[in-house]
């Protein structure tokens, strides 16, 4: 059962007791599993409630609609991703930014291949059309802070812009890599790593 995000604007009511927090985590876990099975369009709050073995009212106690539920899952994914990167960065020398970028890419690929629902909903809902942009900005915000802290520099506008461009580029290329190959086309993943490293060198070297 995955952790519940610390701050989640999608929640109608934040859980106070552990029992309520466990129920919320079970709802999010069920949502993730169903996304892999049915996709976003066919996902329903009733199906999530049935999978989580909770009354439908428990879902609506926390979420106003399906989109809020899926966005909460995306925020949980982002929290999990940030925690995994933080753990990886703790074992890397601060001066080696290339190893840090590799860790960022490696953890994303690992989650893409193994975390339920992540292939469809990583850091933002698949709809509407601007959702990917919102998700990428959300991700760039978090990565800029994490990388700046690790590298011992301020998360200034230049760093944020470089991270955002890298996120947008990597997102497009990794979508291509996973479009026809479930585990990701290794050659395209390698090209993505080369492109991001080369671009960031002008900011981080």
Residue range of the domain that includes 24 = 18-67
- Note whether residue 7 is domain-resident: no
- Note whether residue 4 is domain-resident: no
* Domain final residue pick, 9, 38, 67: 67
- Note whether residue 105 is domain-resident: yes
Mean pLDDT along residues 73-79: 95
* Whether residue 159 sits in one domain with residue 113: yes
- Note whether residue 143 is domain-resident: yes
Q: How many domains does the chain have?
A: 2
Write down the pLDDT at residue 3: 47
Write down the pLDDT at residue 95: 86
Residue 7 confidence class, pLDDT cut points 50, 70, 90: very low
- Note whether residue 6 is domain-resident: no
Q: Is the pLDDT of residue 14 over 80?
A: no
Say what the pTM is: 0.89
* CA–CA separation, 139 and 178 (whole Å): 19
* Whether residue 30 sits in one domain with residue 59: yes
* Whether residue 118 sits in one domain with residue 193: yes
Residue 5 confidence class, pLDDT cut points 50, 70, 90: very low
* Whether residue 78 sits in one domain with residue 44: no
Q: Cis peptide leading into 192, omega within 30 of 0?
A: no
Write down the pLDDT at residue 155: 85
pLDDT digits (tens, 9 = 90+) for 156-183: 999 999 999 999 999 999 999 999 899 9
Q: Crossing angle, helix 186-204 and helix 157-179, to 10 degrees?
A: 170
* Whether residue 95 sits in one domain with residue 29: no
- Assign residue 41 the CATH number of its domain: 1.10.10.60
- Cα 126 → chain centroid: 12
* Whether residue 103 sits in one domain with residue 171: yes
- Note whether residue 57 is domain-resident: yes
Residue with tokens 């979420």: 63
Supply angle C-alpha 109, 23, 56, rounded to 5. 105
- Note whether residue 5 is domain-resident: no
Mean pLDDT along residues 30-48: 96
* Whether residue 28 sits in one domain with residue 85: no
* Whether residue 90 sits in one domain with residue 41: no
pLDDT digits (tens, 9 = 90+) for 97-139: 999 999 999 999 999 999 999 999 999 887 665 555 689 999 9
Write down the pLDDT at residue 128: 61
- Note whether residue 93 is domain-resident: yes
Residues 178, 188: contact at Cβ < 8 Å?
Answer: no
- Assign residue 196 the CATH number of its domain: 1.10.357.10
């Amino acid at each position: 059962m995955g952790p519940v995000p610390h701050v989640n604007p999608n929640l109608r009511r934040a859980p106070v007791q552990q029992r309520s927090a466990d129920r919320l985590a079970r709802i999010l876990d069920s949502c993730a599993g169903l996304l892999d099975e049915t996709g976003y369009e066919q996902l329903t709050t009733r199906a999530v409630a049935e999978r989580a073995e909770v009354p439908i009212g428990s879902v609506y106690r926390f979420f106003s609609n399906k989109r809020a539920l899926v966005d909460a899952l995306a925020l949980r994914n982002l929290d999990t991703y940030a925690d995994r990167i933080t753990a990886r960065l703790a074992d890397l020398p601060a001066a080696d930014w290339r190893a840090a970028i590799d860790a960022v890419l490696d953890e994303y690929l690992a989650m893409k291949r193994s975390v339920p629902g992540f292939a469809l909903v990583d850091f933002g809902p698949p709809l509407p059309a601007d959702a990917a942009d919102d998700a990428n900005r959300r991700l760039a915000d978090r990565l800029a802070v994490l990388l700046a802290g690790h590298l011992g520099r301020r998360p200034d506008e230049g760093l944020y812009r470089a991270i955002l461009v890298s996120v947008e580029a990597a997102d497009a290329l990794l979508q291509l890599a996973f479009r026809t190959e479930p585990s990701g086309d290794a050659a395209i993943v390698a090209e993505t790593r080369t492109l991001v490293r080369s671009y960031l060198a002008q900011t981080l070297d």
